[in-house]
Structure 1
Amino acid sequence: MVVLLALAVFGLVTFVYLMLLGSCYAPRLSGRLKKTVMNWQSNPDSVRPAEVRSQAGRWGRMNPLLHLVTNTIEALQKRQDDRQIRETAARDAQHALEPFEAPLKIIEVIAALAPLLGLLGTVLGMMEAFSAMAATDGRANATQLSGGIYEALTTTAAGLVVAIPFAALAAWIEFRLRRIHKTINSTLVSILHIVPEQTLDAPESSGTASKSRLAAEPDSEPADNPADNYATAQGQRFAHATG
């Protein structure tokens, strides 16, 4: 029971920490960032990543997706190597999700260990009951047996009480992470499929923005479902977004 109580307290602290971490550092597609992506799709050369970062404010700069979007756009405007851009975007996207994986794993472990600890208490309680019966040569009364049976039932119930809420929390957190992964993946796809016709350093001729064109990817494969790929290896999570 002491171990189950300690696990419950530790899991609750982990959940609160995860919620605070998510409220501050979770990748999110804000309205301003969505407008930047739409401007990039319609007129790539009009987007200025430095201005987007400066206008985001202190709270906006805590958003990892803001840096992922602006860095990728800046690299595309500077005509950097396409393969390097995609690898960098995949690495940065993975780093944005890494802080949430360890707390999720802790909650999943607690949800798996709690019923096992309850089962261990059940076994110990039944051992105590049969030990009392053996000590009296099978003539133990109900009072002697009730202590062990009570211990067995109490630990089983405590293990389930701890395991059920944390199993539900783990499923909800994993669902939220899949939603975040889907948002990051769709944003990366929207950005990487557009190539500007001129770089930021190129002089502007008549003050009119040049048109954008879609970057054809003849050797790329169709994108998989991002929700189905969340549980795959870390190096493959953003494979369909980065080629």
Structure 2
Amino acid sequence: MVSDVFDHIASLLQLGGPVVTVIAGLSVVATALVLVKVFEFLSCGIGNDTRAQKAVHHWHAGQLAKAKASNAQPKSAAGRAVATALSLLELRKDKAEIEERIGVQAAGDLHHFSKGVRALEAIAQIAPLIGLFGTVLGMIEAFQALQSAGSNVDPSALAGGIWVALMTTAAGLGVAMPVSLAVTWLEGRLETERVCIETLTSSLLLQQLPELQAAPSSRGQNLSYAR
């Protein structure tokens, strides 16, 4: 069964020529990139920042210790931004300085997570064009054969040449469509992450609280921070 599948793939590659081989190579690269990015996004919680939201909720309740504990060792960009904001607020840093440091950190994190997405976009755009290029070359070859045959034209041979030429376009579209869907999902997650960074950090910086209670000290006292 498996050998039959590989034989069928090999025959398609042979019929399609180098153009289909290139498209097949792009499909392998795209599949690997999609799997890596999906695993990275899911494992880091990109676009799903429940922990960061809990930290902000505890902050609004005046519970600094719980806020930091609920977002300990964050992996997402929004989680890291919230953790940085909490640490700087605890140190009573100026609001402008906090915003600047969060902005620099968030830009770097989002750039890191967007790596590979641009490559997938390029594959989704170039695969149909490569397929169309192969179709044009195949049609040229088919009509050259038609011209050479003169009056002894074999319609079946012409039809066979045309469908082989069209196969490259089908292969290019077959790669581009699922890759485009994957890119849309990844970009949606990145956009959600960016919005979370803006809304959560703004919520931390804009809302004035009467008192923030840190973890009790050895003397049983609570620290209060007025912003």
Q: Same fold (TM over 0.5)?
A: yes
Higher helix share: 2
Pair 1:30-2:42 in alignment: no
SS at match of 2:116: helix
Note the aligned Cα RMSD (angstroms).
3.1
Q: Which amino acid aligns with 2:50?
A: S
Summarize the Cα distance change of 1:211–1:17 in structure 2 as closer, same or farther, 3 Å threshold. closer
Pair 1:126-2:139 in alignment: yes
Cα drift, residue 119 of structure 1: 0.6
Q: Normalized against structure 2, the TM-score is what?
A: 0.75
Q: Which amino acid aligns with 2:39?
A: L
Q: Which residue of 1 aligns with 2:64?
A: 47
Structure 2 distance, partners of 1:64, 1:108, is 22
The question of whether the paired residues in 1 share the 8 Å contact of 2:77 and 2:110 is answered with no
Q: Which residue of 2 aligns with 1:90?
A: 103
Pairing of 1:92-107 with structure 2 (within 5 A) = 92-107=105-120
Query: Pick from 22, 27, 36: which aligns with 1:17?
Result: 36
Summarize the Cα distance change of 1:75–1:208 in structure 2 as closer, same or farther, 3 Å threshold. closer
Q: Which residue of 2 aligns with 1:234?
A: none
Q: Which residue of 2 aligns with 1:148?
A: 161
Q: Which amino acid aligns with 2:42?
A: S
The question of whether the paired residues in 1 share the 8 Å contact of 2:128 and 2:176 is answered with yes
Residues 146-155 or 87-96, more deviating = 146-155
The question of whether the paired residues in 1 share the 8 Å contact of 2:95 and 2:205 is answered with no
Structure 2 distance, partners of 1:21, 1:139, is 60
Q: Which runs of 5+ in 2 are unaligned?
A: 1-19
Cα drift, residue 17 of structure 1: 0.3
Cα drift, residue 138 of structure 1: 5.5
Q: Normalized against structure 1, the TM-score is what?
A: 0.71
Pairing of 1:143-222 with structure 2 (within 5 A) = 143-194=156-207, 207=221
Structure 1 distance, partners of 2:191, 2:77, is 16
Pairing of 1:70-81 with structure 2 (within 5 A) = 70-81=83-94
Cα drift, residue 196 of structure 1: 6.3
Cα drift, residue 71 of structure 1: 1.7
Identity rate, percent: 28
Q: Which residue of 1 aligns with 2:82?
A: 69
The question of whether the paired residues in 1 share the 8 Å contact of 2:139 and 2:161 is answered with yes
Cα drift, residue 209 of structure 1: 6.8
The question of whether the paired residues in 2 share the 8 Å contact of 1:77 and 1:198 is answered with no
Q: Which amino acid aligns with 1:118?
A: G
SS at match of 2:115: helix
Summarize the Cα distance change of 1:64–1:170 in structure 2 as closer, same or farther, 3 Å threshold. closer
Summarize the Cα distance change of 1:167–1:64 in structure 2 as closer, same or farther, 3 Å threshold. closer
Q: Which runs of 5+ in 1 are unaligned?
A: 214-243
The question of whether the paired residues in 2 share the 8 Å contact of 1:127 and 1:148 is answered with no
Structure 2 distance, partners of 1:17, 1:75, is 33
The question of whether the paired residues in 1 share the 8 Å contact of 2:77 and 2:197 is answered with no
Q: Which amino acid aligns with 1:148?
A: G
Cα drift, residue 190 of structure 1: 0.8
Cα drift, residue 157 of structure 1: 1.3
Cα drift, residue 146 of structure 1: 2.9
Q: Which amino acid aligns with 2:64?
A: V
Cα drift, residue 70 of structure 1: 2.2
Residues 183-228 of structure 1 show CA distances to partners (whole Å, capped at 9, x for unaligned) of 222111111114567898xx9xx95775866xxxxxxxxxxxxxxx
Would you identify which runs of 4 or more consecutive aligned residues in structure 1 move more than 6 Å? 196-200
Summarize the Cα distance change of 1:185–1:138 in structure 2 as closer, same or farther, 3 Å threshold. farther
Pairing of 1:215-234 with structure 2 (within 5 A) = none
